[in-house]
Chain A
Amino acid sequence: MKTARFPGRFDSLSKISKFVVSAAKEAGLGSKAIYAVELAVDEAASNIIEHAYGGEGKGSIECECQAGRHGLLIILRDNGKPFDPQAIPDLNTNVPLMERQPGGAGIFLIRKLMDEVIFSFSPNGGNELRMFKSR
């Protein structure tokens, strides 16, 4: 198990990426699965900074990687605002170019790329996102 804490700033994203890619390689994931993990974690970390903390420099992100027999578990923890994942509408992927509006792709990608995704929010503060990718 490896754990690291990163400042809640967008320039942390490349460091977070290196950390989880290294864990994914050690867990024996193939290259396609490694990229899926990298992308899902990047989307989640960006969302934490932008939405949970409301901007850069307002908190940190803890990242824990656990390699298991069946794959890799990644846990992201933050102390920002909780949110209701069920309230995020499904991304409409069938939109003409000129009508396409930004937003909503992050959670959509996380759910598509990872095999299991669990959000939990503690009433005493503290959000946790658990994502699992099988080997």
Chain B
Amino acid sequence: MENDVNISTTSFKRCDIVKMVGRVDTYTAPKLQETLDALIEDGRFNIVFDMSEVDFLSSKGLWVLTETQKKCKKLNRGELVLAHVSERIHESFKLVGMDGYFNIFSDMTAAVGNF
């Protein structure tokens, strides 16, 4: 697995913020999946994905986020929300009919405050 993917997790009492920088594509998406799965395995189901520095997201990224949302929302145990989604990436979500799967916030305070 690639070591050059810039991704970090910051834990708060009620949620975790995962931030990724750069591209989410077939090469880097597995690392994002691994990071999100680690939180879920730890019983952390309230997650904010900070996309302020994500400049590209392919269908692989859309699937990682959708699969994570399914795991978080199972048994109503939590939710994955998105913060700072660029307009062109938001368009991709809409094109494939996935924009309705996520609450999207334009600022981090509101995203964290959601929990």
A residues sitting closer than 8 Å to B (CB atoms) are 10-11, 13-14, 17, 31-32, 35, 38-39, 42-43, 46, 49-50, 91-95, 97-98, 100, 102, 105-106, 108-109, 112-113
B56 touches A97 (CB 8 A): no
B2 touches A11 (CB 8 A): yes
A46 touches B60 (CB 8 A): yes
User: Measured between alpha carbons, how far is A8 from B59 in the docked complex, in Å?
Assistant: 18
* Chain A residues, CB < 8 A from B88: 31-32, 35
What are 26 A-to-B residue pairs whose CB atoms are below 8 Å?
A: A10-B26, A11-B2, A14-B27, A17-B25, A32-B88, A35-B88, A38-B56, A39-B58, A42-B58, A43-B59, A46-B60, A91-B96, A91-B97, A93-B95, A93-B97, A95-B97, A97-B66, A97-B69, A100-B66, A100-B101, A105-B62, A105-B96, A106-B59, A108-B95, A109-B95, A113-B95
B44 at the interface (CB under 8 A from A): no
User: Measured between alpha carbons, how far is A127 from B67 in the docked complex, in Å?
Assistant: 32
* Residues from 42 to 62 in B contacting A, C-beta threshold 8 Å: 56, 58-60, 62
B9 at the interface (CB under 8 A from A): no
B27 touches A10 (CB 8 A): yes
Query: Looking across the interface, which residue of chain B has its beta carbon closest to that of A95?
Result: B97
* Chain A residues, CB < 8 A from B27: 10-11, 13-14
B23 at the interface (CB under 8 A from A): yes
Give the interface SS of chain A, mostly helix, strand, loop or mixed: helix
A46 touches B25 (CB 8 A): yes
* Chain A residues, CB < 8 A from B69: 97
Given A32-B88, A93-B97, A94-B97, are A109 and B70 neighbors across the interface (CB < 8 Å)? Answer: no
* 0/1 interface trace, chain B 9-30, chain A, CB 8 Å (1 if under): 0000000000000010111000
B63 at the interface (CB under 8 A from A): yes
B67 touches A109 (CB 8 A): no
Query: Looking across the interface, which residue of chain A has its beta carbon closest to that of B88?
Result: A35
A108 touches B96 (CB 8 A): yes
A100 touches B70 (CB 8 A): yes
A13 touches B59 (CB 8 A): no
User: Measured between alpha carbons, how far is A17 from B24 in the docked complex, in Å?
Assistant: 12
B23 touches A17 (CB 8 A): yes
B26 touches A13 (CB 8 A): yes
Among A102, A106, A108, point to the contact of B67 (Cβ < 8 A).
Answer: A102
* Chain A residues, CB < 8 A from B97: 91-95
